[in-house]
Amino acid sequence: MANSTNITWHDSAVVKADRRQHLKQSSFILWFTGLSGSGKSTLSVALEQYLFQQGYLVYRLDGDNIRHGLNSNLGFSPDDRTENIRRIGEVSKLFVDAGVIAMTAFISPYQADRALVRAMVEPGEFVEIYVECSVEACEQRDTKGLYAKARRGEIKEFTGVSAPYEAPTQPEITIATEGKTVTECVQQLVTALETKGYLQRP
Amino acid sequence: MANSTNITWHDSAVVKADRRQHLKQSSFILWFTGLSGSGKSTLSVALEQYLFQQGYLVYRLDGDNIRHGLNSNLGFSPDDRTENIRRIGEVSKLFVDAGVIAMTAFISPYQADRALVRAMVEPGEFVEIYVECSVEACEQRDTKGLYAKARRGEIKEFTGVSAPYEAPTQPEITIATEGKTVTECVQQLVTALETKGYLQRP
């Protein structure tokens, strides 16, 4: 199999800039972090819908498509939690390289784990979104009944109850969800992303 | 954070079919398998270029972006090789879900590992491409000098020399690369993909 002189394609690999140009968007990671029940999942689903309808190609990683797939062989030990976030970061990086806006919605309670993901990608490609909500408010919602289980000791090392949550110190965006509607939160997120220039078309 | 009645987005999650429609393409995995030096990497790079220029969104997973990233904590033991392919399969599945045509170029010598990936996705989403080339021809090329090292015993369990390669029994596409130019091979691949209906626009 020799190289032909009669090639019918550009003789250069397709790179991130090419894919961004093709999709007419920049690509980056929207990394939601916050307590269980803070609104990460709800907000990321709603923001994904909004961005998709605006013509952006967005892909969301969450418990459903990660814990049952790529990370099905990980548990909840400290090492496994770190490996969980590391793999999610690496996959997000691949999506960014593919030109896609990656969104992730995981508690990701440790500053060091999030810093590791930030360091994987280029400056400006990691957008940390702190979904701020008090433990009390999250526990009051408790849509999945997880706080109740944690209080009864049926879940060990539950973030906010029996395990720490390290809030971001310098997140790109902070969204406080208490007392706000989903619409209000999404509008605030979109405004923040626009203001910071993430939604510009190349 | 209550649900608002004044939502400005469709109240349904974005799914694979939406993204395929948006990208005007189907999505699937083009899984190249074959010996070291058979032409997997060269062909996948060239095919990616061709498809991208035709307006398809394609993303290629290979040693460069996987072994140094997601799978940097895996070695070459049998278990690690299987885990390597499993993770690549799971990530490819995520790209298919994102509407992107995923391409992978790994030796992936074991039938069982490839069958595992095939089973992860829906029927028709796994396109096994057997890059056929004799060990002799691969060894003659030996662009990376790996066969020479393997013969000297400097690489243990080298596929085709000291470890088995289990050729696909029913690949979707077989491409024999000996005596052919890259252009000829890519044209054959494109014809096969078109004939099988993979490149139809929804």
Give Cβ neighbours of residue A56 (< 8 Å, ≥ 6 apart).
Answer: A23, A25, A101, A199
Which positions in chain B touch A99 (Cβ < 8 Å)?
57
Residue in chain A nearest B93 by alpha carbon = A69
Give the pair of three-digit tokens for residue A173: 């965006």
Q: Summarize pLDDT for B69-94 with one digit per residue, the tens.
A: 999 999 888 899 999 999 999 999 99
In a domain? residue B52 = yes
Which positions in chain A touch B53 (Cβ < 8 Å)?
9-10
Q: Summarize pLDDT for A62-88 with one digit per residue, the tens.
A: 988 899 999 999 988 889 999 999 999
Mean pLDDT is lowest, of A4-8, A84-88, B118-122, for A4-8
> What is the C-alpha to C-alpha distance for residues A135 and B3, in angstroms, rounded to an integer?
20
How close A37 comes to chain B (CA, Å)? 10
In a domain? residue A11 = no
> Does pTM top 0.90 for this prediction?
yes
> A14 — contact with chain B (CB < 8 Å)?
yes
Q: Express as a percent the part of chain A with pLDDT over 90.
A: 84
What pLDDT is recorded for position B11? 56
Residue owning tokens 């797939």: A69
> What is the C-alpha to C-alpha distance for residues B35 and B106, in angstroms, rounded to an integer?
9
In a domain? residue B175 = yes
Q: How many domains does chain A have?
A: 1
> What is the C-alpha to C-alpha distance for residues B199 and A119, in angstroms, rounded to an integer?
37
Across the interface, of B11, B65, B97, the residue whose CB is closest to A97 is B65
Q: Give me the sign of the Cα torsion angle A137, A108, A106, A152.
A: negative
Give the pair of three-digit tokens for residue B19: 């993204």
In a domain? residue A1 = no
Residue in chain A nearest B67 by alpha carbon = A90
In a domain? residue B9 = no
Residues of A annotated catalytic, as ranges: 108
Q: Are A52 and A58 in contact (CB under 8 A)?
A: yes
Give the pair of three-digit tokens for residue B67: 């072994």
Which positions in chain A touch B55 (Cβ < 8 Å)?
22
Whether pLDDT at A1 is above 70? no
CATH of the domain at A179: 3.40.50.300
> What is the C-alpha to C-alpha distance for residues A1 and B177, in angstroms, rounded to an integer?
6
> What is the C-alpha to C-alpha distance for residues B50 and B99, in angstroms, rounded to an integer?
18
How close A60 comes to chain B (CA, Å)? 9
| 8 Å CB contact of A50 and B177 | no
> Taking phi first (over 0 means left), then psi (-120 to 50 degrees means alpha), and beta for anything else, what does residue A171 get?
beta
For B143-181, b where at least 16 C-beta lie within 10 A, e where not — what string? Answer: eeebbeebeeeebeebbbbebebeebeebbbbbbbeebb
> What is the C-alpha to C-alpha distance for residues A83 and A113, in angstroms, rounded to an integer?
9
What range defines the domain where residue A190 resides? 24-194
Return the residue in B1, B5, B7, B143 with the most chain A beta carbons within 10 A, the one to mutate for interface testing. Answer: B1
Q: Are A54 and A68 in contact (CB under 8 A)?
A: no
* Average pLDDT rounded to a whole number, residues A42-63: 95
In a domain? residue B141 = no
Q: How confident is the model at residue A168 (pLDDT cuts 50, 70, 90)?
A: very high
Q: What is the mean pLDDT of chain A?
A: 92
Return the residue in A8, A9, A36, A120 with the most chain B beta carbons within 10 A, the one to mutate for interface testing. Answer: A9
Q: Which residues numbered 66-105 in B keep a CB inside 8 Å of some CB on A?
A: 69-70, 73, 83, 87, 90-91, 93-95, 97-100
Q: What is the mean pLDDT of chain B?
A: 92
Q: Summarize pLDDT for B14-53 with one digit per residue, the tens.
A: 999 999 999 999 999 999 999 999 999 999 999 999 999 9
In a domain? residue B176 = yes
Residue owning tokens 């902070």: A174
* Average pLDDT rounded to a whole number, residues A42-47: 96
In a domain? residue A7 = no
- State the DSSP code for B3: P
What pLDDT is recorded for position B82? 94
